[in-house]
Amino acid sequence: MSSVTQTTTEQTTAPVTTEGGDHEKFAHYVAKDKVVESAVAGTPLVALCGKVWVPSRDPSKFPVCPECQEIYNSLPKGG
């Protein structure tokens, strides 16, 4: 089974999550099919690193979350 991901970033006003740390400074990997659903319905996404948020920014303006990148790199390729 293949896994497709897409990078997206978190919302800075009224965040869904209350966890601390540097998650808000990064673009995160999430399931690609969930990005459209989140954009249409405003449902929160869960990144590979566990970050939960409703995205609202251009992910290309942020560095990729190192934890998401590490997890993504460890996933099986192809499929």
- Work out the average pLDDT over 4-25: 52
Residue 76 clears pLDDT 50, i.e. is over it = yes
Q: What is the pLDDT of residue 77?
A: 84
Q: What is the pLDDT of residue 46?
A: 95
Tell me the CA distances in angstroms from 60 to 2, 9, 23, 79, one per residue in order. 24, 9, 15, 26
Residue 67 clears pLDDT 50, i.e. is over it = yes
State the sign of the Cα–Cα–Cα–Cα dihedral 77, 37, 66, 64.
positive
Residues 19-56 pLDDT 10s: 455 667 899 999 888 988 898 899 999 999 999 998 88
Residue 62 clears pLDDT 60, i.e. is over it = yes
- DSSP bridge partners of 8: 28
